[in-house]
Structure 1
């Protein structure tokens, strides 16, 4: 399954408010608001065993998490990229993600080396929400973070030449003429 970032609706345009009314006050986002947003974006999601929302893609999954309490509560959008990388390639991989981190605001991407020696990438963006935020800011940031998570995966595939590996794997799965 592949999602085109341009297919995600732009929630930036809000209806005009009647004269004399100012913008709505701050809201403290919660999981129900995120569910509504994901449904509006037409993204499938599940709730994991810890109660966090997760939207799965073919090569990664994005979690929408609330951590902390009261005025210190943080909303985090964290993407776990499932494509394994060899430990020997980690220095080049780090150079590549450093380039991404210098060029973009989000997600900030870092690596994690598993016990079996494989390296996987994680992208993350966070917002302090404990004292409340503008609904428009919350929605536009969350949509932008999801788009950027998708874009990072595409960018990484292009930077590392992984599209050739994906194409050859698909070719290897096709039956040969003599079968």
Structure 2
């Protein structure tokens, strides 16, 4: 159990990896050096962004893609999600003639983070991303093509 007086330490990929390993999660390091894995069929990345890698971001990409013709329905569903919830930020991008749906939770840890703070943002990003994608399964019609992302 973390001590209440634990000092924040710099956030590193090793610390993110240690958290994921402590939960028994499977992940890989991709060609860009980012940690990534598959949860409930959808791909998630654990990124360190910004000039000095001080912003932690958990980004998910839904396993399904949606035809461009469904942009209106997708936009309404994501707008409802963003209006009613704080996390994750949900958005759509056009990729290779299809719509890809993403989740993101980010936190600026410039002064560093305790283990508990880091664990909280990683759990939030992963947990709320999985919730978003489960809600989309019930909201967006049809099976749609999958992303073709390999399972780990």
Structure 1-normalised TM-score?
0.73
Relative contact order, higher structure (CA 8 A, sep 6+): 2
The residue aligned with 2:60 is 79
Name the CA distance, whole Å, in 1 between partners of 2:47 and 2:32. Answer: 10
Greater Rg over alpha carbons, structure: 1
* Helix, strand or coil at the partner of 2:47: strand
Runs of 4+ aligned residues of structure 1 deviating over 4 Å after TM superposition are none
Whether 1:52 aligns to 2:37 is no
Structure 2 unaligned blocks of 5 or more: 145-152
The answer to whether the aligner puts 1:97 opposite 2:72 as a matched pair is no
Q: CA deviation at 1:83?
A: 0.6
Shift of 1:86: 0.7
TM-score normalised to structure 2 length: 0.85
Give me the whole-angstrom Cα distance separating, in 1, the residues matched to 2:105 and 2:119. Answer: 14
User: Using the alignment, how far apart are the partners of 1:145 and 1:78 within structure 2?
Assistant: 7
Give the structure with the higher percent helix.
1
Q: Is the 8 A contact 2:82 2:89 kept in 1?
A: yes
Q: Contact between 1:81 and 1:121, CA under 8 Å: does it hold in 2?
A: yes
Report if the CA contact (8 A) 1:66-1:75 is conserved. Answer: yes
Structure with the largest fraction of strand: 2
The CA RMSD measured in Å over matched residues stands at: 1.9
Segments of structure 1 that go 5 or more residues without pairing to the other structure are: 1-13, 167-179
